[in-house]
Each structure stands twice: as structure tokens, then as C-alpha cells.
Chain A
Amino acid sequence: MERLKLVLQYFQSNSESISNGICIILALVSVKLYTSFDFNCPCLPQYNKLYSLGVMIVPPIILFFLGVLVNRHTGVMMDEWMRPIGNRSKNPAVVKYLFSAMLQRALLAPMVWILVTLLDGKIFICAFSVSVDPTLFSGLPNNTGLDVIKIMAKVPCKEDYILKNTSFRKAVSRYVRCYSQAFGWSILLLLIVLGTLARLIKPYFDDHARALQTRYWSNYLDVEQKLFDETCVLHARDFARKCVVQFFEDMREDTIITLSHPFFMTNTTEEWEAEEEERLHGVTKQEQVDQLLNKWYFNKPELDVTRIAHRPRTCVTWQDRDGKTLYSDV
């Protein structure tokens, strides 16, 4: 439990970590999606390739769009790109940095899907079983009266009646899977080598100081937007509270204070009552409450809390006969 909290805290510490976390979660979702997807090769010569390539290409596109959608940097980048200049000059390097960061993160989940399909091999078998030369293997059933192509197309389907449990089917599957896995591992190796090379060579082509600045300002934009949203929410809360209280107090009848016997010392048994009175905001009758609720629905107050924000505060000063100040609120 503590470990989980630590991990969550680490990931929430800055927005880059959050983006990385979400990226990894999306990659895990991609793997889970593949394992739960019930791959169903049609085993017909015309449709095998179409179906397989569809399954290999369409989900990565979906995952890519999802990756772009859930990334916070997308919003920040679009805002920075599209905003009018105003008082703040634009920095295209920041936009480029955000774009490349977003792209790299969004490409992870699709790559994971493609690699998992290649390493698993089902899709390759479905797509390319018709292209295998059957003479390489023994045991091709030739008593069924079907074309060779149709038989080869049925190889991916385990429960098919013609090829059930035959060694021919297993041999062809193994052969194609072998190619598929080789292809998968090569792609993985290529990606890793490219990534390593890019990391090693980048410092020679990059202006490190400029890169630090760009990174700083892109993080700053993200933090600024978050803080702005938070401040807006807090402000809306205060605004709402003041607006509601002002509305309540406007409903109170005019009170004419006759200070002939002002009570400056609180009567002890009714101090709590004074607090309650304050919370009543002067609305103390059933008709007033009804009127208040009615007005709230039919005639909402205008969005202006200047009166309550700047209302005068009563300050009392007590002086004795000689003018000496005994007590003062000022």
C-alpha cells in the first residue's frame, strides 16, 4: 500500500511523469486488448489477407489517436500554437518540442500492439498461409477435391475438419510463425538501435543550453495552464458563495437600528444565538424564505459581488468621559 502510494506520488510529481505513466498504461491496455481479442481468421482465400492486415493496422491507428487524446501536452501544444501573440512572444521551438514529445509517447502503444502480434504469430499465419509452397511439407491432403489454395487457406483454423490434427497443418503454422517472430524481433532490435543512436548522437547536433530552455518553458506552460484552471475553480467557489450570501441578505427587510440600548456586552446564554442570527442573513420568516426561493428560480441575481466584497465593516470605539479610549475595534 505504501509502495503504491509512493509510486503514485512519483508519477504525479510533474507533468512529464504523468504523461509517461499514462503512456505506459496505454501500452498495457494494448497488450490486454490483444489477449482478450478473439482472433477469428476466416480461412477463405479472398479474405484472409484483408482481415489479418486489418487487424494488424486498424487497432494501432485507434491506439495512436487515443494516445494523442489522453496526453495533456496535446492541449498545451495546441493552445500555444493557436494563441494570438498578445503580450507574450511565441517560441516555435517549444511547440516543436511538445509536438515531438507527444508523438513519441503516442507511438508507443501502437508499436507494442504490432510487436505483440508479430511475436504471437497468429495474424501472420492467417495472412500468409496461402503463400506457402505446400511441396515443402509432406502430408497435404489431396482427397478432398478442393483446390490447393483453399486447403492452404484453411491452415490457420485449428478446428477445421479437413486439416484437424494433421502434422501438415502444424508444420506450416510453425514455419510461418517462425518468420513472423523473426520479423518481430528484428523490428524491435531496429527500434532499440535507432533509439540508442539518436540518444548518443543528439548532443553533437543539439544546442544543449537551448534544449534546457525549451524544456523548461514547455513544462512551465503546462504548469501555468493547470494553475489557471485551479484558480478559476477556486474563484468560482468564492464567487458563488458571495453571490448566494448577497442574495440572501438582499431579501432581508430593512432594519432600522435604534441604538438607545445598545448591547455591547454579549448576553452569555445567547451568544450562540448571535452566531445563528448571522447565518440567517436576516431572513427570518416563512414568507421571506418562500420569496427568496422563488426569486432564486425566476430571477437569478446578476453576477456582481462588488457590494459584499467591499462592504463597510462596523468598528466600535468606547471612550470614557475624559476622552480616554477604553476599547476600540480600529
Chain B
Amino acid sequence: MDKFRMMFQFLQSNQESFMNGICGIMALASAQMYSAFEFNCPCMPEYNYTYGIGLLIIPPIWPTGSRSKDPTILRYMFCSITQRSLIAPAVWVSVTLMDGKSFICAFSVNLDIDRFGNFSIMRGLSEVERIKQLAKIPCKDLVENQEMRVAASRYIKCISQACGWMFLLMMTFTAFMIRAIRPCFTQAAFLKTKYWSHYIDIERKMFDETCKEHAKSFAKVCIHQYFENISGEMRRIHHHHRNDSDDEDEEKKMSDEEKLLGIRAQDDMNKVLWNWHTCKPALALRKDQINGETKGLLNGHVNGIANGFVQGHTHDVEKKEWAVYYSKV
């Protein structure tokens, strides 16, 4: 478990290595899937080719969603996504080709059987019969002449593996040209697009985070105001008198008494809950609740010096307030 956590942390340390990790996992999954899959050639002339080639091509076409991004760096993102999403299909295709069963199934009917030796069973057959015999080659149990089958399978598998290696060589060479030779041409532009593509990703995440925080704060304040409204109504109805000394309590404690917000009876609580369900408050927080420290809350709309005389909590001293604004530059 610890191993996984460490590896997970390392992979998450930056997004690129995380994507590479996902890529590697998909490639492994692709290889594992192939080995778990039970290849079952139909051994009939009409269907062999379709089955063999279909299995080679269709599983690699996995859906890869693309995110819509700013058009200026869309091409960079597209290339990067394409490169990563091509690895798992490439693994599938190369594993299929190296294994050879798919090719044997698809191309056994095209064999020139005389090349492998004299097989009496193939002499004197009509064309249709000959093709039927050839189509049975991929299936071990259906062919009587095992020697012919083994020789033909070997031959086709050899060609299949050659194709597989060529495919791998081509893919690797293409990747090499892109990664190693590209810096010769567009390095400055590449740095720019790399930075801004990262930026857009991070910006989207930040925006979601900020929205979440905002929604949380919004909800908290909204609910608090709702309870205060309701408790105000309760007090009016029940003629509860608020204890003034509690209001002027300067101690910084949020006692349980205060948290009750004046709602102390079962009927009152029921009314609060009922009201919340039937008549939710408007999504508009009261502005006069803005109080407390002024540091950093106000943006550049307020400027100048504001004076005022204030009745502080200590009644004997009248204080004069100066608000001075300093720029942090």
C-alpha cells in the first residue's frame, strides 16, 4: 500500500508525469487484454479475413475525448494528446502482430501451398475445395495433415512478426524525429505554447477551486442570515428579550447559547425547517453585514482619506480615525 502511495505521489508531482503514468497503465492494460482474450478463428473462407483484420484494427480505436481549448495552442494540445493516446493502440497492434494468430487467420487462404512441399491431400481438388482446406489451417483440430498446417502457420507467423517489427520501427523512428529533431526548428514558439497550455490547465483548476470556495462561503453566510432572520421573527412572536449583556460581550467565545441563535423550542425548530423547505431565502446576501477588518477587503474603488468620530467600546475616550492608503509597489 505504501509503495502505491509513493508511486502515486511521484506521478502526481507534475501533470506531465501523471499523463505518462496513465499512458503506461493503458499500454499494459492493452497487452494484458490481448493475452486474456481468446482468439477464435472461424476457419471459414468467407469470414477469416474479416475476423483476423477486424481484431487487429477495431480494439485500438478507443474513444479519446478532446478538450476544447484556446485555438492558438490547440495544435500543441492536440499533438500531445494524440501522442499519448496512440501508445496503447500501438501496443495492441504490435502484440497482435508478434503473436501472429490474427495474420494466420486472415491470410491462410492466400497461401501457395506447393511452396511447402508435396501434400497429397491438396492434389486433385477443385478451387473451392482447395480454398476451404486452406481456410481450415488456423484451426488445429480441423486439419488432418498437421505437417502442412505447421509449415504454413510458421510461414505466415514469420511474415506477421516481420510486419510487427517494421511497425514498431516506424513508430519509434517517427517519435524520434518529432522529439529529437523538433528543437532545431521551433524552440522559442514551443516554449511559449508549453507555458500557456500548462497555464490554461492550471487556470481551469483554480477557477473550479475558487468557485467551490465561493459557493461554500456563499452557502454559509446565506444559511446564517436565514437563521438570524428566522430567529428574529421568533423573538418578535415569542416576545423574547435578548440579553443585552450578551451582545456587548467582548470575550471571543462562541458559546453554545449563542450558536442556538435564539431558537430554543421544538416548535421553533420545526418552523425553521419547514420554512427552509417551503420558502428558501433569496440568493442575495445582505451588504450591511460587511463589517470587521477593512484590510484587504476593499479594492481600488475607495481612495482618499476618511475621517470620522467613533463611539468605541470604551466610552471615555473618543478616537479619531484616519484611514491612509499605501501602495505596495
Contact A62 B298 (CB under 8 A): no
Instruction: Give the nearest-CB partner of A160 in chain B.
Output: B150
Q: A258 → chain B, closest Cβ, in Å?
A: 9
Interface flag for B275 (CB, 8 Å): no
A120 within 8 A of partner (CB): no
Known: A69-B176, A276-B221. A314 touches B323 (CB 8 A): yes
Closest to A239 in B: B199
Check if A43 is an interface residue, CB within 8 A of chain B: yes
Among B98, B158, B293, B319, the residue within 8 A (CB) of A318 is: B319
Comparing B53-61, B177-185, B233-241, B265-273, the segment that makes contact with chain A is B177-185
Q: Which residues of A contact B318 (CB under 8 A)?
A: 321
The CA of A265 and the CA of B250, in the complex, are separated in Å by 10
Tell me whether B158 and A47 are in contact (CB under 8 A): yes
A1 x B251 contact (CB < 8 A): no
8 Å CB contacts to A: which residues of B307-328?
307-308, 310, 312-313, 317-328
**Are B285's CB and A285's CB within 8 A?**
yes
Given A161-B147, A259-B308, A314-B323, answer yes or no on A273-B289 (Cβ-Cβ < 8 Å): yes
- How near does chain B come to A11, taking the closest CB pair, in angstroms? 12
Q: Which of B169-195 contact A (CB under 8 A)?
A: 169, 172-173, 175-176, 179-180, 183-184, 187, 194-195
Task: Determine whether the beta carbon of A241 is less than 8 Å from that of B206.
Answer: yes
Q: How far is the CA of A241 from the CA of B199 in the complex (A)?
A: 10
Chain B residues lying within 8 Å of A274, measured Cβ to Cβ, are 291-293, 297
**Bound Cα distance from A83 to B320, whole angstroms:** 63
The chain A residue sitting closest to B329, CB to CB, is A310
Is A248 in contact with chain B by the CB < 8 A criterion?
A: yes
Contact partner, A55, options B165, B203, B207, B299, Cβ 8 Å:
B165
- Interface residues as binary, B11-41 with A (CB distance below 8 Å gives 1, 0 otherwise): 0001000000000000000000000000000
Instruction: Check A40/B169 contact, CB under 8 A, given A236-B199, A284-B284.
Output: no
Bound-complex Cα distance A6 to B38 (A): 42
Contact with B along A299-317 (1 / 0, CB 8 A): 0000000010011111111
User: Are B326 and A316 within 8 A (Cβ)?
Assistant: no
What B residues does A62 contact at CB under 8 A?
165, 168-169, 172
Report the bound CA distance from A62 to B162 in whole Å. 14
Q: Is B218 located at the chain interface by the 8 A CB criterion?
A: yes
Task: Judge if A209 is at the interface, Cβ distance under 8 Å.
Answer: no
- Asked if B82 is an interface residue, CB under 8 A from chain A, the answer is no
**CB–CB B295/A284 < 8 A:** no
Q: Tell me which of A161, A286, A329 contacts B283 (CB under 8 A).
A: A286
9 CB < 8 A contacts A-B? A62-B168, A79-B183, A82-B183, A157-B154, A240-B202, A248-B214, A257-B306, A284-B287, A326-B319
Binding site for A on B (CB under 8 A): 2-3, 6, 14, 98-100, 115-117, 146-147, 150-151, 154-155, 157-158, 161-162, 165-166, 168-169, 172-173, 175-176, 179-180, 183-184, 187, 194-195, 198-199, 202-203, 205-207, 210-211, 213-214, 216-218, 220-221, 224, 249-254, 258, 282-285, 287, 289-303, 306-308, 310, 312-313, 317-329
In addition to A82-B187, A319-B322, 7 A-B residue pairs with Cβ atoms within 8 Å of each other are A43-B154, A268-B253, A280-B214, A280-B218, A313-B327, A314-B325, A316-B323
